[in-house]
């Protein structure tokens, strides 16, 4: 606790008895939180505590010495002692969470850790006097920490403070809403939900307040605005965590806490029991999901090592309607986020549909007798590398799935991508094949340097096949002429693996001006072309060869995915993108096929899916005709919503006919 008196902050520690939660959920916590508290208590008990006499408290607070004032309540008396400072803060006013969100970029880890700290604190102090003051993004503050070297103060997002005004009677701070006409019965819960929305979207909630506006209209407008933000996917960007969104909605939904409704005429015992039940609901529906999410990402560990905020940076935002820009030319309002084009929106929906299919496979697997695979599908991506510091790679769905990295350019031990092309493809394959493990080989610094990188590609193919034992090797690039070293590497890999390895490559992006590139035109490689979200083949595709009965294409227009050194997803087009999606679909299908036990029909045929001939047979039964003869549009739409028998008959039947 810090108190400000005129020109300085005073560090204060107050220890009081507190109750513990007795709910059913197993409680997770920050590793050092309670340990520190117990340690402080032991230190204080070992020191000589002096009684704070009447009138002495204010004198102690305003002494201005560089120490921590430790206060403890024992046997009804207020005692004090002094300890060295644990932190040195700059003696300047704090910075509100709202201002932090407006001026700084917070990483996903920063947001989740801070959201949990705030939610846990609201639960911990829910029935205490600490809740008799507003908890909002304006009252949550951050202090600049100084050091002895004279550096400017640093802001740590995992060290929030609460600005308290105890003497103010605020109707928005009651446990039960006393504002006539307010929709939400519990103001403290609503306020927490709004802060979680602000943290998730990375911007303060827009409040269109009018001087004569009734208080009920004000609090209801804030609630409805927050609700609308939860429905607007653009506001959340890459911060796409279902458990987080569930916690937010439980806070904002007025009926969540009606399982333990406040009853005005209840006795003191009944009121306390109801309050305890509401507090338990808060933990079960809000705090615990956030804990669980942090445990899953392993971000709970060493959270104190999260670095301080960097210098302020412009935040991309969505301009509210009828809001005029404010400030001088030196402090311009950030430009509105670029509106997505129709094709970008369609591509995003296409990927969401594929995500739904993958989720369906996971949900139905136990019920239809599919077993967990002992070995996950392995996909090797040969490209410009991967920037694993992009926000996408901190998602719980991605954690631990980047299994290995090999750099044939600079020999770096850590993943890197100077261009972005590789990052886009790696993240795209991770999306399309959520149950596959990914291996990344850096063969060039940029697509332009691939012309001189054929030896690197050949080495990467051999390594991916032999060392990584990859099931799929994806190459979103090509050469005008055949590269003998690459042909040799492909041939050797097929020989060693008895043809049970799949190669994917991008056809070409030069339309009819050039022929299909190598290695896409290699006899052992599956060549992929690009379509729009409706299955129409784009004009950047090369023409079909006369000796080809059919060619395959999938989504390759305005596809969103991560990019190197970027917090936002980037939309890219071309056969390179389509190749990543096709490789991801193949990886997803291999995982599904491998989960079928011996008692299932077509069991002896399922291993043919690991051959080029087998995968092409699967692609044929899944693809639909396009407007061009011999151009087949690859999707998994025919498998969505089907019974297990129908789904497996389609795939297993295609393999059994080979």
Residues noted as catalytic: 383, 421, 576
* Cis, peptide link before residue 519, omega less than 30° from 0: yes
User: DSSP code of 17?
Assistant: -
* Measured distance CA(606)–CA(619) in Å, rounded: 14
What are the backbone dihedrals phi and psi of residue 182, each rounded to the nearest 5 degrees, phi first? -75, 135
Q: Which of 322, 313, 282 is nearest to 196 (CA)?
A: 282
* Measured distance CA(240)–CA(74) in Å, rounded: 47
| Residue 193 token pair | 């939900």
* Measured distance CA(22)–CA(645) in Å, rounded: 46
Cα three-residue angle 8-13-16, rounded to 5 degrees: 145
User: DSSP code of 511?
Assistant: G
| Residue 334 token pair | 């950030």
Q: Where are the beta strands (DSSP E) in 409-493?
A: 437-442, 472-475
* Measured distance CA(456)–CA(602) in Å, rounded: 39
* Measured distance CA(363)–CA(370) in Å, rounded: 11
Question: Strands 472-475 and 502-506: what pairing?
Answer: parallel
* Measured distance CA(38)–CA(336) in Å, rounded: 49
* Counts for the chain of helices (H) and strands (E), in that order: 17, 19
| Residue 427 token pair | 């993240």
| Residue 7 token pair | 């020109």
| Residue 621 token pair | 């039964």
Q: Which of 442, 395, 448 is nearest to 416 (CA)?
A: 442
Q: Which of 432, 422, 502 is nearest to 470 (CA)?
A: 502
Residues 439/464, Cβ–Cβ less than 8 Å:
yes
Per-residue three-class SS string for 582-616: HHHHHHHHHHHHHCCCCCCCCHHHHHHHHCHHHHH
Phi/psi zone of residue 583: left (φ > 0), alpha (ψ -120 to 50 degrees), beta? alpha
How far is CA 557 from each of CA 436, 531, 538, 562, rounded to the nearest angstrom?
24, 6, 8, 15
User: DSSP code of 519?
Assistant: T
Coil, helix or strand at residue 364? helix
Residues 159/142, Cβ–Cβ less than 8 Å:
yes
Long-range contacts of 642-646 (CB under 8 A, 24+ apart): 644/364, 644/368, 644/369, 644/370
Q: Which of 557, 567, 465, 481 is nearest to 516 (CA)?
A: 481
């Amino acid at each position: 606790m810090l108190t400000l008196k005129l020109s300085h902050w005073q560090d204060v520690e107050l220890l009081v008895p507190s109750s513990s939660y007795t709910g059913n959920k197993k409680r997770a916590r920050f590793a050092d939180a309670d340990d520190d508290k117990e340690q402080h208590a032991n230190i204080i008990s070992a020191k000589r505590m002096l009684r704070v006499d009447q009138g002495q408290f204010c004198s102690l607070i305003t002494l201005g010495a560089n120490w921590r004032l430790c206060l403890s309540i024992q046997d009804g008396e207020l005692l004090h002692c002094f300890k060295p400072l644990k932190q040195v803060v700059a003696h300047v006013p704090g910075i509100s969470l709202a201002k932090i969100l407006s001026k700084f970029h917070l990483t996903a880890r920063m947001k989740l850790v801070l959201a949990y700290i705030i939610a846990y604190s609201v639960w911990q102090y829910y029935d205490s006097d600490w809740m008799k003051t507003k908890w909002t993004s304006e009252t949550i503050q951050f202090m600049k920490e100084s050091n002895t070297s004279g550096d400017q103060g640093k802001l740590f997002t995992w060290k929030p403070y609460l600005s308290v005004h105890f003497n103010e009677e605020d109707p928005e701070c009651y446990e039960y809403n006393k504002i006539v006409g307010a929709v939400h019965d519990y103001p403290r819960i609503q306020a927490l939900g709004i802060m979680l929305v602000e943290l998730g979207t990375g911007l303060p909630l827009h409040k269109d307040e009018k001087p004569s506006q009734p208080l009920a209209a004000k609090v209801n407008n804030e609630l409805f605005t927050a609700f609308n933000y939860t429905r607007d996917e653009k506001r959340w960007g890459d911060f796409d965590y279902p458990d987080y969104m569930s916690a937010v909605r439980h806070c904002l939904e007025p009926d969540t806490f009606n399982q333990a409704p406040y009853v005005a005429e209840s006795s003191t015992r009944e009121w306390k029991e109801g309050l305890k039940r509401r507090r338990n609901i808060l933990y079960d529906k809000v705090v615990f999901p956030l804990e669980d999410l942090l445990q899953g990402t392993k971000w709970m560990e060493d959270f104190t090592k999260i670095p301080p905020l960097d210098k302020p940076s412009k935040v991309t935002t969505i301009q509210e309607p009828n809001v005029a820009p404010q400030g001088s030319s030196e402090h311009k309002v950030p430009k509105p986020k670029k509106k997505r084009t129709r094709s970008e929106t369609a591509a995003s929906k296409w990927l969401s549909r594929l995500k739904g299919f993958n989720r369906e496979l996971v949900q139905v697997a136990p019920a239809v007798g599919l077993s967990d695979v002992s070995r996950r599908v392995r996909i090797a991506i040969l490209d410009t590398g991967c920037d694993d510091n992009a926000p996408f790679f901190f998602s719980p769905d991605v954690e631990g799935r980047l299994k290995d990295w090999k750099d044939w350019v600079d020999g770096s031990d850590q993943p890197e991508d100077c261009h972005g092309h590789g990052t886009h493809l790696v993240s795209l394959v991770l999306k399309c094949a959520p149950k596959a493990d990914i291996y990344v080989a850096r063969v060039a610094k940029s697509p332009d340097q691939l012309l001189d990188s054929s030896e690197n590609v050949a080495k990467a193919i051999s390594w991916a096949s032999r060392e990584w034992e990859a099931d799929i090797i994806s190459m979103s690039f090509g050469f005008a002429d055949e590269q003998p070293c690459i042909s040799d590497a492909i041939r050797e890999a097929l020989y060693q693996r008895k043809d049970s390895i799949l190669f994917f490559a991008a056809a070409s992006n030069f339309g009819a001006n050039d022929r299909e590139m190598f290695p896409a035109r290699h006899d052992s490689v599956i060549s992929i072309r690009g379509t729009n979200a409706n299955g129409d083949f784009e004009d950047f595709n090369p023409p079909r060869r006369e000796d080809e009965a059919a060619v395959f294409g999938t989504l390759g227009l305005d596809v969103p995915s991560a990019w190197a050194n970027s917090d936002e997803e980037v939309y890219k087009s071309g056969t390179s993108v389509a190749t990543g999606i096709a490789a991801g679909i193949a990886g997803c299908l291999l995982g599904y096929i491998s989960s079928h036990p011996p008692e299932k029909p077509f069991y002896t045929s399922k291993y043919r899916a690991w051959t080029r001939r087998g995968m092409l047979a699967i692609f044929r039964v899944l693809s639909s005709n396009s407007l061009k003869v011999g151009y087949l549009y690859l999707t998994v739409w025919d498998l969505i919503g089907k019974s297990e028998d129908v789904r497996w008959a389609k795939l297993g039947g295609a393999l059994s006919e080979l």
